[in-house]
Structure 1
Amino acid sequence: MTVTATARPTRTGHPGYTQTLPCAARSVVPARSLVRIALETWGLERLADTGALVVTELVSNSVTHTSTYSVRVTVSRPSETFVRIAVADNSKTIPTLRTTTGGHHETGRGLAIIDALTWRWGTDLLPEGKRVWGDLRSEVGE
């Protein structure tokens, strides 16, 4: 598997990182690495474990619920106060937060985990599909 990551400057002066990966379970590992590298570059190592879990759930949701060929992972810092982790795919289906009852369900918890770990999350419709994102607070003394 050959993948490349691209850093692009943003208006905050922090580069944003993107990587296009196959829509497959094996893409979770490079997606987690991309998130960790971005957070370490910004001096936000304390968010690395949470960010890695958020991107794992976002990629896993695309793998499980779409028939997309690839996903695009983006890690950006739109402001000093938050980091955005996003995964875009070619599906137009908007994910919904489900509540599961009991502890025997093996699926259906991805968005609940994202909801619990992030400051906020959402979905943007794109001409070619959608982007699901979660924001982590990055401000000092939050």
Structure 2
Amino acid sequence: MTLKSPPGTIVQRLSADPANLTGVRRSVREQLRAWGRADLAEAAALCVTEILTNVHRHAGSPECELTLDRLPGGIVRVAVGDRSPVLPVKAPAPDWTAERGRGLHLIAATAYRWGATPTASGKQVWVELR
């Protein structure tokens, strides 16, 4: 469900269910192409997948809100807000053979910038791509 948003902003409430990830990635790619930023579509899809997987595994509730913003200078900001106040922490060195623990390293390697911000209802994890 897309919510009413200012121009250049897309907000969608969704469930961080692994069964939904394919559709969310497709929607993110399509929106970036519509904005003329096909060059960032795959990076955005990867970051959204990693963030939503963390919501599914760690937030305690799958309910979240995905926001896509076009920022000045050609930057695209992708953010996922969830109900958990626990901020993500990037491990010092991932075990690249493990099934878990690499997500934030992938995000850091892909994004121009990334971070997490506490909110009144939990937190928002965001990435900026350029």
Common topology (TM > 0.5)? yes
Q: Which runs of 5+ in 1 are unaligned?
A: 138-142
**SS, match of residue 124 in structure 1:** strand
- 1:23 is aligned, of 16, 28, 44, to 16
2:88 equivalent to 1:95:
yes
Total equivalences in the alignment: 130
| SS of structure 2 residue aligned to 1:59 | helix
For residue 6 of structure 1, the aligned residue among 3, 7, 23 is 3
Q: Partner amino acid for 1:9? A: P
1:135 maps to 128
**Offset, 1:127:** 0.3
Question: CA contact under 8 A between 1:99 and 1:112: conserved in structure 2?
Answer: no
Q: Point out the structure with the larger helix share.
A: 2
**Correspondence 1:35-54 to 2 at 5 A:** 35-54=28-47
Equivalent residue number for residue 58 of structure 1: 51
Q: How far apart in 2 are the matches of 1:125 and 1:43?
A: 31
Gaps of 5+ in 2: none
The equivalent residue for 1:85 is 78
TM-score by length of 1: 0.84
Q: Deviations over 1:106-142 (max 9, x none)?
A: 10101000000000000111000000000001xxxxx
2:94 and 2:102 in contact (8 A); partners too = no
Larger-Rg structure: 1
Amino acid at match of 1:33: R
CA RMSD of aligned residues (A): 1.6
Runs of 4+ in 1 over 2 A off after TM superposition: 6-10, 99-104
Give the CA deviation at 1:101.
5.0
Percent of paired sites with the same residue? 33
Task: Work out the CA distance in 1 between the residues paired with 2:10 and 2:94.
Answer: 37
* Displacement of 1:80: 3.0
